[in-house]
Amino acid sequence: MNLLHIDSGILADHSVSRRLTAAIVTQVVADHPAARITYRDLVADPLPHLTGAHLMAANARPEDLDSQVSADLAASAAVLEEFLAADMVVIGAPMYNFALPSQLKAWIDRIAVAGKTFRYTENGPEGLAKGKKVIVASTRGGHYSSGPAAAMDHQESYLSTVLGFIGVTELEFVRAEGLNLSAASKAAAIASAEQTIAGFGNLKLAS
């Protein structure tokens, strides 16, 4: 089994999403000791955001590209291949200002590629990245999973949409929210998320 571990929290050792993705990966490895893990830290090694030059390069001759665009294309290809090769993907996705970290959005822009992870057909778009299980460690300072505040969630809702669009049908969120409300709320949220992870047990891959 190939496992791709993605972190995007900007708080280093203080990041709850990083703590949870580490716990998820530990649990997965306990169930699948032969798992091959690829780790990508989108903060320590950020991907550049998409540019017009990057998009136009897809139709350009390699010899016409400058070195920076060529390097960016090579990095993008490596990111896409990591994703395509993964049987399971564990993503740390904190909520910043109601949405994703821009570092994680840059990664998504590298894996949502027409002809590779989705295609347009006469019957509408079709996701091509099938057969993967994705687990997202979702962390939020407030409560956005229900009630009026749910309308402000452009984090989990976006991930559900874009991952579903490219063909991921087995998506699970491990959520810790209310982290910034109080010390007690933070402790309770982390404990609940870690209890969920501990209860995974014999985590199965996508069918």
Which amino acids are annotated as binding site for FMN, given as ranges? 15-17, 95-98, 139-142
In 3-state terms, what secondary structure has residue 126? Answer: strand
How would residue 206 be classed by pLDDT, with cut points 50, 70 and 90? low
Please report the pLDDT score of residue 16 as a whole number. Answer: 97
How would residue 122 be classed by pLDDT, with cut points 50, 70 and 90? very high
Q: Is residue 203 part of a domain?
A: no
- What is the number of domains present in the chain? 1
Which amino acids are annotated as binding site, given as ranges? 15-17, 95-98, 139-142
Q: Is residue 205 part of a domain?
A: no
Q: Is residue 204 part of a domain?
A: no
Q: What is the 8-class DSSP label of residue 123?
A: T
Q: Is residue 23 part of a domain?
A: yes
- For residue 137, the cross-strand partners are 92, 174
Q: Is residue 206 part of a domain?
A: no
Mean pLDDT on 143-158: 93
Q: Is residue 31 part of a domain?
A: yes
Q: Which residue has the tokens 């982390």?
A: 190
Query: Based on the number of CB atoms within 10 Å of its own CB, is 140 exposed (0-12), middle (13-18) or buried (19 or more)?
Result: buried
174 φ/ψ angles, rounded to the nearest 5 degrees: -105, 110
pTM: 0.91
Q: Is residue 125 part of a domain?
A: yes
Q: Is residue 38 part of a domain?
A: yes
Q: Tell me the C-alpha to C-alpha distance, in Å, between residue 21 and each of 39, 121, 167.
A: 11, 36, 22
pLDDT per residue over 32-49, tens digit each? Answer: 999 999 999 999 999 988
| Enclosing domain of residue 106 | 2-198
The CATH number of the domain where 119 resides is what? 3.40.50.360
